[in-house]
Structure 1
Amino acid sequence: MNLRELSQILGLSTTTVSRALNGYPEVSELTRARVAKAASDYGYAPNNYARRLATGRTHSIGLVIPLAEHQMINPVFADFLAGAGEVYSAAGYDSVLSIVPEVDEVASYRAMASERKVDGLLVSAPRVNDPRLEILADLGLPFIFHGRTGDADEGYSWIDINNRRAFRRATELLIHMGHRRIVLINGQEALAFAARRRLGYEEALIEAGLPIDPDLMRQDEMTEPFGYEEARKFLEREAPPTAFLTSSILSAYGVLRAVREAGLQLGREVSIITHDDDLSFLPNSGDVPLFTATRSSVRAAGKRAAQMLIDLIKSPGLPPRTELWEVDLTIGRSTGPVPNR
């Protein structure tokens, strides 16, 4: 079935049907729903090339993945992409992934724009004062960051969680329980989210009158082995820490392994709070979760980021859109009062 035949069945012009299928705002929701149902009932699928000629759009979203970047081995990133992909598919958009060496990342963005391969760009893992921001702003394509760079008031679109407040609250909880030697197992602090988490941790220490000790902070790839190795070294000290704050549930499982190998009781002799992205493949769930955690759904963030970008594509005159999500602090079995040693 082609577009003309579908239009005749509906008694509408081909222009109206095309606009309804492509999400133009001037088509009423009633008409859009009617057209979508008929397209489904009669098995109509638009020809992408014809659709591009008619609308001037590719109906594709670009994402550049540098080979040296952490998201290639970080399963959290896969959950984010899965959420975004659900929205793209439902809206009739494809994803165009460009996997390139790190040195070619900027060139790949420019190629996508100059060759009109995509209608918009989803950008992940912003650095502190990310140099990509200025480059992306000059490409003439809508884009949205998953995360924030700089002061986040430079006129670009982003969606983020309040990392600074989340880690301040988590550290305050441990301090309230009597912990004073609290280790931060962080992500790579060249990335904006990890830098903000460290700031929140330090703010809580300062507010409580506790010293900021760089020797109690570690940063690296957020993996289980990283959490394990660092925690093992800390627990072998003459004056070991009584609590750990980790930036990933993967790192938290590494810390947990070290705690158990040391013959210590979780929540009684050593406490752990982690950031938990509410991962579909590694849930921290149950009536009483294993880990006390600052929680957010990275899959939900992917869905929302995709929808925000599609809105920017459909309505080019929209001002930059930003959303800052607060996180939940969920109490689990991994925390308790500081032990008497």
Structure 2
Amino acid sequence: MKLKELAEHLGLSQTTVSRALNGYPEVKESTRLMVQETAARLGYRPNASARRLATGRAGAIGFVLRGSEEFGPHTTEFLAGLSGRLAEEEVDILLTNVDSYQEELAAYRRAAASKKVDAFILHSPKLRDERAELLHDINIPYILHGRTEIGRPHAWLDIDNQGAMERATSHLIDLGHRRIALINGVRGRTFAEHREAGFRAALAARGLPVDPALMANAIFTDEVAFRLAQTMLELKPRPTAFLAGSMMTALGIFRAIRQAGFELGKDVSIIAHDDVFPYLNADNMFPAMSTTRSSIRAAGVRIAELILQLLDGKPAGAIHELWPVDLVLRQSSGPPR
């Protein structure tokens, strides 16, 4: 079906139909919805090149990774969801890899000057994120996977990291654990700060002290988590339970527990975050891993949808989604013995 045929079917001009499909703000919302629904029902898809000419858009979304530690299972899962959804709209991803924070800021400025992307996705934000402030100042649309506090309206999607960690910690306390270790993400990143706040809140609610020796911040790798857990397990008294910031972290903790001669789920418990990786299934581990569950691939899909809404004129301040996190109990968590 061609644009002319769609316009004739709707009884509208080709210009109105084109503007409705391309998100022009002067088109009434009722008209836009009618055109989009009819186009979907009849299987009409505008030519990508023609659409870019009509809208002046680049047809690409920018995503910047900094350092080799950014290339992990979380990133690949997120990009799988993001790219799959954007591909349905014939929108590309411009992926840039840099080595330093200053190079990352420079990448955003270059993109603004070259007009190669229509918007950016910012991941792993800090409590006050300079990248978001920069993109706001140079007037490039963006959405955060996470949250920040910059005092300006911005679009974001996040999960309830604080609530998830508070619930997981409370469950371990209910089981009888009093020495609970937290191996968290990089300090200063919003998700890590929110998780620590949840951990502290659960301990405070039960009148339990916070032991700094049982808290650590690091990148999510098996090796780093292994060495941190080794050190903690040598403490007297040692921790009887761990909260792991990721499944990769949990693998390192599990290795340290086994090397120390303890039994997972009996002598030492673990609750890990993220159990939706297709190649690292918590149910198939032995013993099966207790987790706080939130699909990072689903988050990638949804962020793609939200950034398309942003580009179609939806105000950034109206795009806020906070997803709940499930606590899935399996064999790796039990009462201490």
Query: Structure 1 288/266 Cα, relative in aligned 2: closer, same or farther at 3 Å?
Result: closer
Are 1:28 and 2:35 matched, yes or no? yes
Distance in 1 between residues matched to 2:3 and 2:52, nearest whole Å: 19
The Cα offsets for residues 140-187 of structure 1, whole Å up to 9 and x where unpaired, read as: 22210000123x764211111111111111111111111111111111
Does the aligned pair in 2 maintain the 1:277–1:296 contact within 8 Å? yes
For 2:328, the aligned partner's letter is T
Alignment partners' CA distance in 1, 2:148 and 2:6 = 48
Do residues 168 (structure 1) and 166 (structure 2) align? yes
**Aligned residue pair count:** 325
Q: Is the 1:121–1:141 contact (alpha carbons within 8 Å) kept by the matching residues of 2?
A: yes
Per-residue Cα deviation, 1:107-150 (whole angstroms, up to 9, x for no partner): 21122123221111111110122122221111222210000123
**Aligned residue number for residue 132 of structure 1:** 131
Q: 1:16–1:121: structure 2 CA closer, same or farther, 3 Å change rule?
A: same
Residues 1-341 of structure 1: matches in 2 within 5 Å? 6-7=2-3, 12=8, 15=15, 18-19=18-19, 22=22, 26=32, 28-34=35-41, 37=43, 46=47, 48=49, 50-67=50-67, 70-72=69-71, 74-102=72-100, 103-150=102-149, 154-285=152-283, 290-315=288-313, 317=315, 319-339=317-337
The AA in structure 1 aligned to 2:227 is E
Determine if contact 2:58/2:117 at 8 Å carries over to the other structure.
yes
Distance across 2 between alignment mates of 1:333 and 1:153 = 44
Which runs of no fewer than 5 residues in structure 2 stay unpaired?
none
**Identical-pair percentage:** 41
Residue identity opposite 1:284 in structure 2 = A
The SS at the match of 1:61 is strand
Any stretches of 5+ residues in structure 1 without a counterpart?
40-44
The answer on whether the counterparts of 1:184 and 1:246 sit within 8 Å (CA) in structure 2 is yes
Secondary structure of the structure 2 residue equivalent to 1:285: helix
| Distance in 1 separating the partners of 2:178 and 2:289 | 20
In structure 1, what residue type is equivalent to 2:104? E
* Length-normalised TM-score, structure 1: 0.87
Structure 1 SS opposite 2:282: coil
1:6/1:227 Cα in 2 relative to 1: closer, same or farther (>3 Å)? same
State the one-letter code of the partner of 2:132.
L
SS in 2 for 1:28: helix
Residues 158, 323 of structure 2: 8 Å contact kept: yes
Q: Cα distance 1:7–1:294, how it changes in 2: closer, same or farther (>3 A)?
A: closer
Q: TM-score, normalised by structure 2?
A: 0.88
1:16: Cα distance to partner? Answer: 6.0
**2:168, 2:207 → 1: CA distance?**
16
Q: SS state of the match for residue 97, structure 2? A: strand
Report the Cα offset of residue 52 of structure 1: 2.3
For residue 215 of structure 2, what is the amino acid of its counterpart? M
- What is the distance in 1 between the residues matched to 2:315 and 2:167? 38
Contact 2:17 2:35 in 1 (8 A): no
Shift of residue 195 of structure 1? Answer: 1.2
Q: CA separation of 1:284/1:16 partners in 2, compared to 1, >3 Å: closer, same or farther?
A: farther
Separation in structure 2 between the aligned mates of residue 125 and residue 258 of structure 1, nearest angstrom:
27
| Structure-2 change in CA distance of 1:291 and 1:51 (3 Å) | same
Structure 2 counterpart of 1:141, one-letter code:
I
